[in-house]
Amino acid sequence: MKFFIDTANLAQIREANDLGILDGVTTNPSLMAKEGVKGNDAIMNHYKTICEIVDGDISAEVFSTDFDGIVAEGKKLHAIHKNIVVKVPMIKDGVKAIKWFTDNGIKTNCTLVFSAGQAILAAKAGAAYVSPFIGRIDDSGWDGVELIAQIANIYSIQGFKTEILAASIRSALHIIKCAEAGADVCTCPLDSILGLLKHPLTDIGLAKFLEDAKKM
Ligand code: E4P
C-alpha cells in the first residue's frame, strides 16, 4: 500500500518525506486555504514547491464544476509538473472531464466519492485514483472501511485498474483497516502516520534495553 500525506503544509510534507516512506501528496481547497495560499500565482507556486519536495503523485484539485472549466484548469495544473494528478469532483461534468483527461494522457484523482456506484463510474472514465472519504462516511453513521472493501471487491472482479485511495483518514486504526480492506493508497494526516509508530511496550522495552546497555 502506498502512503500519501493529506496536507498542504510544507513543514509536515517535509517531515513525512524525510521518514522515507512517502509516495505522494493530496491537497484540497480547504487544506490550501488553511495554509493561507491565496491567488493563482501563489497556488501554482505552492504546488510547484510540493512537487520539488516529494517525488511522487501530487493531487491538485480543480475549482470549476463545468466540463470546459475543469479541462482548462486541469491543463494548467498538469503543466506545473509531470507529477501533478488533476483532482476532479465526482459530478456529471467531472466524470466527462476525467474521460477527457484519460484520453489525453493526464492522470486524475476522482474525489468526493461516497458510494460503490460512484467508484464504478470513476473507474469507467479511467481515473488513476478514486478517493472514498472514509472519515466523513463514519461521521454520518456508516462504515467507511466497508466501502473500501466493497470497491476493492468490485474492481478485482471487473479488472478495473483505478487505484483505491482511502481519503479522509482520521487515525492510525483507519490506516490499518484500509490496508486490510484492500486500499491501494492511504492519504493521511501526519499525526495518523506517526500514530502507527506508537506502542507502549516498545517504549518500555527500549527504556529497559538502554538501561541494561549501560551495564555492558
Ligand atoms: C483528500 O483527498 C481529501 O480531500 C481529504 O482526505 C478529506 O479529508 P477530511 O474529510 O478530513 O476533510
What is the pTM assigned to this prediction?
0.96
Residue 87 falls in the annotated catalytic set: yes
> How many alpha carbons lie under 13 Å from residue 138 in its C-beta half-sphere?
16
Helix and strand counts by DSSP (H, E) for the chain: 11, 8
Question: Does 133 sit in the ligand 1 pocket, CB within 6 Å?
Answer: yes
pLDDT (0 to 100) of residue 189: 97
**Burial of 201 (C-beta count, 10 Å sphere; 0-12/13-18/19+):** exposed
Give the span between the Cα atoms of 130 and 163, in whole angstroms.
6
Give the span between the Cα atoms of 148 and 179, in whole angstroms.
9
The residue nearest atom 10 of ligand 1, judged by CA position, is: 168
Q: Which residue from 133, 134, 169, 171 has its CB within 8 A of the most atoms of ligand 1, so it is best to mutate?
A: 133
Instruction: Please list the pLDDT of the chain residue by residue as tens digits (216 residues).
Output: 999 999 999 999 999 999 999 999 999 999 999 999 999 999 999 999 999 999 999 999 999 999 999 999 999 999 999 999 999 999 999 999 999 999 999 999 999 999 999 999 999 999 999 999 999 999 999 999 999 999 999 999 999 999 999 999 999 999 999 999 999 999 999 999 999 999 999 999 999 999 999 999
Length of the chain: 216
Catalytic residue among 34, 82, 87, 198: 87
